[in-house]
């Protein structure tokens, strides 16, 4: 009998808790100062305990690391700092043994300029890879495509003195775009996918997916050809690799992102991130007004039954403010990035706890709102203990410091010399590893980690959060964010007070007269719902989740 670790469940990702890992920063298994797969394997018990269903790995491929590994130099090799392909395979198996799936970042749009494909292409224009990148004699084409990295790149074209032509790149100039017009490139990328799927990986987060094709006279984003290719990828997965998942990174408005789920039966990506909801959660808490939350969810179209939103509070990138108005962006900068060092591109490079001034109530409230929404939540490593950031580090390194495992040397992250660490762990009195670490929070029953653990378990007990319908429940108190989730017999009422002050609200629950709200944490029954509006009172930043049950 072959080993099978999971029930066949094509919709597993709809009920999953994702956990995002920066391998370099997680745990050092070979004492060289940087995290690796050996180290990651040692920490799987912790992730299993936490209730993680799926690990999302940042890029792990061979790379010169000029863009955090999103510049891949060999799609079939693991970066030597992290280990080998065999280590990766063992890691996937060990994860599966613990009931944890694994997805990894994959960049399809471009390669590193170090990639042998590019080197061949530039030196041998007539050769087999001559047409694998987007070359042009001029920099005139595709003028309507915006430059994304405005801080560092003057143009999407860069002149290559070796080949004597310009090449196209939507991101850094050392990341030439692959030419998807070439059928060989299409096939080569499918081979990359097959290679990792055959090793047992459970899916991919597809980085920068809107930019695969270029067409003059368009902004070169979300083109029909790009969708056609994604449909081809999906068909291949459906045919040969059941229960795997494609997660699209398309930082766009929800009405544009839904195109990446494909047609109404969902024939492109299984999941896509819901980017705009996140800044609005921060806005709601700061303004003490739930309106932005209601509005963005109203603006979110329905998605195919077999698709799911990915939701997150923070991740390895900046808190992106592309999907807000200018006015809203100014507000966010004023409130959350008081030091200009905290800004990067169009966003704020801070972790969750510092963004919320380390307020325990606020952190819990934000997780409650996140976990209550339709979608699958992603927890960013370190945020489960409220790690801080270091805004004095360059680029986004400030939110990628070593995981704080213990109060011991190097935060228990590595046994290498302090100076040898890829980055030094935080040492400040509030967020430093002696104050904030896994070991101490595990031991403290009232810690944030222990709270989150119980909260994750609660969410997982109720598939309604992943599968159910969402029905907003507006009231005349704009400081209250309330909604009903419903799936089969399970009806859940989630009510959150985004204000700093105590609040009362009267909710119209006339649809549920006779049912008894049972608070889900403590399983306390509240008075049955009657004909009058249902009155609830809240502590500052308080929230209640109720299951609406038949009276016993």
Catalytic site residues?
Answer: 207, 249
Nearer to other proteins, 42 or 330 (CB): 42
Report, in Å, the least distance between residue 54 CB and other proteins.
Answer: 15
Cα-to-chain-centroid distance, residue 273: 7
Q: In angstroms, rounded to a whole number, what is the distance separating the alpha carbons of residues 205 and 270?
A: 10
Please list the helix, strand and coil fractions of the chain in percent, rounded to the nearest 5, in that order: 30, 20, 50
The only residue of 359, 407, 463, 540 in contact with other proteins, by rule CB under 8 A: 463
Q: What binding mask, one character per residue, do residues 116-155 give for other proteins by CB under 8 A, x or -?
A: ----------------------------------------
Q: In angstroms, rounded to a whole number, what is the distance separating the alpha carbons of residues 262 and 268?
A: 5
Interface region with other proteins, contact rule CB under 8 A, candidates 107-115, 256-264, 334-342, 449-457:
449-457
**Binding of other proteins by 1 (CB under 8 A):** yes
**Binding of other proteins by 239 (CB under 8 A):** no
The only residue of 258, 438, 515, 536 in contact with other proteins, by rule CB under 8 A: 438
3-state secondary structure 321-375: CCCCCHHHHHHHHHHHCCCHHHEECCEECCCHHHHCCCCHHHHHHHHHHHHHCCC
Cα-to-chain-centroid distance, residue 126: 41
**Binding of other proteins by 445 (CB under 8 A):** yes
The only residue of 309, 405, 481, 543 in contact with other proteins, by rule CB under 8 A: 405
What angle do the packed helices 224-240 and 183-198 form, to 10 degrees? 40
Report, in Å, the least distance between residue 79 CB and other proteins.
Answer: 24
3-state secondary structure 277-329: HHHHHHHHHHHCCCHHHHHHHHCCCCCCCCCEEEEECCCCCCEECCCCCHHHH
**Binding of other proteins by 98 (CB under 8 A):** yes
Q: 516-519 and 503-507 as β-strands: parallel, antiparallel, unpaired?
A: unpaired
Report, in Å, the least distance between residue 52 CB and other proteins.
Answer: 13
Q: Are 134 and 179 in contact (CB under 8 A)?
A: yes
Q: In angstroms, rounded to a whole number, what is the distance separating the alpha carbons of residues 512 and 531?
A: 9
**Binding of other proteins by 99 (CB under 8 A):** yes
The only residue of 137, 298, 339, 489 in contact with other proteins, by rule CB under 8 A: 489
Q: Are 195 and 76 in contact (CB under 8 A)?
A: yes
Nearer to other proteins, 25 or 39 (CB): 39
**Binding of other proteins by 488 (CB under 8 A):** yes
Q: In angstroms, rounded to a whole number, what is the distance separating the alpha carbons of residues 28 and 48?
A: 19
Order of strands, sheet of 543-549, starting from the edge strand that comes earlier in the sequence: 469-472, 480-487, 490-497, 543-549, 516-519
Q: Are 347 and 319 in contact (CB under 8 A)?
A: yes
Q: What binding mask, one character per residue, do residues 503-542 give for other proteins by CB under 8 A, x or -?
A: -------------------xx-------------------
Nearer to other proteins, 46 or 512 (CB): 46
**9 to 48, contacts with other proteins by CB under 8 A?**
42-43, 45-46
**Binding of other proteins by 439 (CB under 8 A):** yes
Q: In angstroms, rounded to a whole number, what is the distance separating the alpha carbons of residues 276 and 310?
A: 11
Interface region with other proteins, contact rule CB under 8 A, candidates 137-145, 314-322, 459-467, 504-512:
459-467
Nearer to other proteins, 261 or 451 (CB): 451
Report, in Å, the least distance between residue 339 CB and other proteins.
Answer: 35
**58 to 97, contacts with other proteins by CB under 8 A?**
97
Report, in Å, the least distance between residue 524 CB and other proteins.
Answer: 10
Query: Which residues make up the interface to other proteins (CB under 8 A)?
Result: 1-8, 42-43, 45-46, 49, 97-99, 405-406, 412, 438-439, 442-443, 445, 450, 453-454, 461-464, 467, 487-490, 522-523
């Amino acid at each position: 009998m072959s080993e099978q670790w999971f029930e066949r469940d094509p919709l597993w990702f709809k009920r999953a808790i994702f956990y995002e890992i920066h391998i370099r920063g997680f745990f050092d298994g070979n004492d060289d100062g940087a995290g690796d797969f050996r180290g990651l394997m040692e920490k799987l018990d912790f992730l299993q305990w936490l209730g993680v269903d799926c690990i999302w790995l940042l890029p792990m491929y061979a790379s010169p690391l000029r863009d955090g590994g999103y510049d891949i130099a060999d799609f079939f090799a693991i970066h030597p700092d992290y280990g080998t392909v065999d280590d990766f395979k063992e890691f996937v198996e060990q994860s599966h043994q613990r009931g944890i799936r694994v997805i990894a970042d994959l960049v399809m749009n471009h390669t590193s300029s170090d990639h042998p494909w590019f080197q061949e292409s530039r030196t041998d224009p007539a050769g087999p890879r001559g047409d694998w990148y987007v070359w042009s004699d001029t920099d005139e084409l595709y003028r309507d495509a915006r430059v994304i990295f405005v801080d560092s790149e003057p143009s999407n074209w860069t002149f290559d003195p070796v080949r004597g032509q310009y090449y196209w790149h939507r991101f850094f100039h050392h990341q030439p775009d692959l030419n998807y017009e070439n059928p060989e490139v299409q096939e080569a990328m499918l081979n990359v996918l097959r290679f990792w799927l055959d090793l047992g990986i459970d899916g991919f987060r597809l980085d920068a997916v809107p930019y695969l094709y270029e067409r003059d006279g368009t902004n070169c984003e979300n083109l029909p050809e790009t969708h056609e290719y994604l449909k081809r990828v999906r068909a291949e997965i459906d045919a040969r690799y059941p229960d795997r998942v494609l997660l699209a990174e398309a930082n766009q408005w929800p009405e544009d992102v839904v195109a990446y789920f494909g047609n109404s039966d969902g024939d492109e990506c299984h999941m896509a991130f819901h980017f705009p909801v996140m800044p609005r959660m921060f806005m709601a808490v700061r303004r003490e007004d739930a309106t932005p939350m209601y509005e963005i969810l109203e603006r979110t179209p329905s998605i195919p039954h077999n698709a799911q939103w990915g939701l997150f509070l923070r991740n390895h990138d900046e808190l992106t403010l592309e999907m807000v108005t200018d006015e809203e962006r100014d507000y966010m900068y004023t409130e959350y990035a008081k030091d200009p060092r905290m800004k990067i591109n169009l966003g704020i490079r801070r972790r969750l706890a510092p963004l919320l001034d380390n307020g325990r109530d606020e952190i819990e409230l934000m997780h409650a709102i996140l976990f209550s929404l339709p979608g699958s939540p992603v927890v960013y490593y370190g945020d489960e203990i409220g790690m801080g950031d270091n805004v004095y580090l360059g680029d986004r390194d400030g939110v990628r410091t070593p995981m704080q495992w213990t109060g011991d040397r190097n935060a228990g992250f590595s046994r290498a010399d302090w100076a040898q660490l890829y980055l030094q762990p935080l040492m400040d009195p509030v967020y430093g590893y002696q104050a904030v670490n896994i070991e101490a929070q595990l031991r403290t029953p009232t810690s944030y980690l222990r709270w989150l653990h119980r909260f994750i378990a609660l969410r997982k007990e109720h598939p309604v959060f992943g599968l159910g319908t969402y029905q907003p429940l507006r009231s005349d108190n704009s400081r209250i964010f309330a909604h009903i989730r419903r799936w089969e017999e399970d009806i859940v009422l989630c009510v959150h007070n985004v204000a700093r002050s105590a609040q009362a609200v009267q909710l119209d629950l006339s649809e549920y007269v006779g049912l008894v709200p049972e608070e889900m944490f403590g399983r306390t029954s509240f008075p049955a719902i009657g004909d009058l509006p249902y009155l609830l009172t809240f502590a500052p930043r308080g929230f209640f989740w109720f299951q609406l049950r038949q009276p016993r």
